[in-house]
């Protein structure tokens, strides 16, 4: 990974951008101390599609039914770790 000082980065910004666009990461330093990193900007993730699992999953009819009392008591007592 290339490290370059701020002055050099200002002078050669176009060249650095080309390197970053090609996949390289560059550290920019001030007085020898790294302060920033130039990295390639990847394309934004595509929008989510709803319904991709439609017909592939089955939710039981009692999905939201209360837990059996024995199990609920174990959660309340801390016997079941979360």
- The pLDDT confidence band at residue 81, using thresholds 50, 70 and 90, is low
| Average pLDDT of the residues of the chain | 88
Q: What is the pLDDT of residue 52?
A: 86
Q: Which ranges of 1-82 would DSSP assign to H, the alpha helix?
A: 6-11, 13-21, 69-77
**Residue 2: alpha-carbon gap to chain centroid:** 24
Whether the model clears a pTM of 0.75, i.e. scores above it, the answer is no
Q: Across-strand partners of 28? A: 4, 36
Query: Domains of the chain by range and CATH?
Result: 2-38 (3.40.1620)
| Model pLDDT for residues 5-42, shown as the tens digit of each residue | 999 999 999 999 999 989 899 999 999 999 999 998 87
Q: What is the pLDDT of residue 51?
A: 87
Mean pLDDT of 61-67: 90
């Amino acid at each position: 990974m290339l490290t370059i000082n701020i002055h050099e980065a200002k002078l050669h910004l176009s060249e650095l951008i080309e390197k970053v666009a090609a996949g390289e990461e560059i550290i920019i330093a001030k007085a020898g101390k790294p302060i920033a990193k130039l990295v390639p900007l990847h394309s934004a993730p595509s929008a989510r599609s709803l319904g991709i699992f439609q017909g592939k999953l089955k939710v039981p009819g009692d999905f939201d039914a209360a837990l059996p009392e024995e199990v609920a008591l174990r959660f309340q007592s801390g016997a079941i770790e979360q």
